[in-house]
Amino acid sequence: MNVRRSTVAAILFLVAIAAGAAEPSPATTVSFFVSARGADRSRNLSEGDLRRIFLGEISRWPNGHRIVLYIRPFDSAAGRLFLDRLIRMSDIDYAQWWLGAVFRGRAAAAPRVMATPDSMSKAVAANADAIGFDSQTPDAELLVLTIDGRAPSDPRYPIRAR
């Protein structure tokens, strides 16, 4: 009996290791942030408006400047959580959405993809009109947004893995 239990436990352990190796550790939340140079604008957005921003339906900040969008790759943990919890589209549909937005004349260009957390932080920090996201806490040059009044540390924060 003990041998059987040990065997089952070993198999489960190996499966857990294999699963962990195959998939990067999933992000629990995605933080959205803007440059500290854009500190004149609100640090809170509704989930609906945030979705519209990343769909290009809201294209300007309240000061009239065009919003510059940066996203993480869809195969990153942050990118997957962004699509699943905020955009609610597959990566294929999101890419085609932006093809359509540019074609309709409603957007000048699709969001730029930032391959690493470091390049994302630098890109957003350097542009007062930019917004980006990541699963890692950004550095001090960036302002983390609250969504519907909730910070990423809040258990009721909407862009969170369930």
Partner 1 sequence: MIAVDSNAMIPCKQRIAIVIAMSASLVLFALPGRGDDASSPEQHFPAFRLGAFADIVLAHPDKQGKVDYESGELDVYTSAQLNNNWSVLGEGLVQHAGSSENADLEPKSDLEFNLERLYIAYEASDRLRVEFGQIHTGIVQWNEREHRSRFLQTPIDVPSIANRESQGGAWPLHFTGAWASGRVPGSLGVIYGAGVGAARGSERDNIQPFYRRGTSPAALFSVGVAPDSLTGFEAGAAGYAGRIRVQGQKTLRELDSTVYSSFVRGGIELRGEWAHMVHSEVGGDADFVTRGWYLLGSWRPPGRWKPFRPYLFIDHLHVAAGERYLSDVHNQNAWAAGVRWDVNSRLALKGDFRTQLFAAPHREGLFRLEVALAF
Residues contributing to the site for partner 1 (CB under 8 A): 46-48, 51-52, 57-60, 64-66, 68, 73, 88-90, 92-93, 95-96, 99-100, 102-105, 108-109, 112-116, 119, 122-123, 126-127, 129-130
Q: Which is nearer to partner 1, 28 or 96 (CB)?
A: 96
The answer to whether 51 and 82 have CB atoms below 8 angstroms apart is no
- DSSP-derived 3-state class of residue 104: coil
Closest contact distance (angstroms) between CB of 6 and partner 1 is 33
Q: How far is the CB of 133 from partner 1 (least distance, A)?
A: 15
Residue 54 in tokens: 């990343």
Least Cα distance to 50 among 118, 119, 150, 137 occurs for: 150
Closest contact distance (angstroms) between CB of 152 and partner 1 is 20
Find, among 24, 51, 25, 28, the residue nearest to 153 by Cα.
28
CB of 21 to partner 1, least distance (A): 19
Could you tell me which of 68, 54, 65, 62 has the C-alpha nearest to residue 101? 54
- Cβ proximity to partner 1: between 113 and 151 the closer is 113
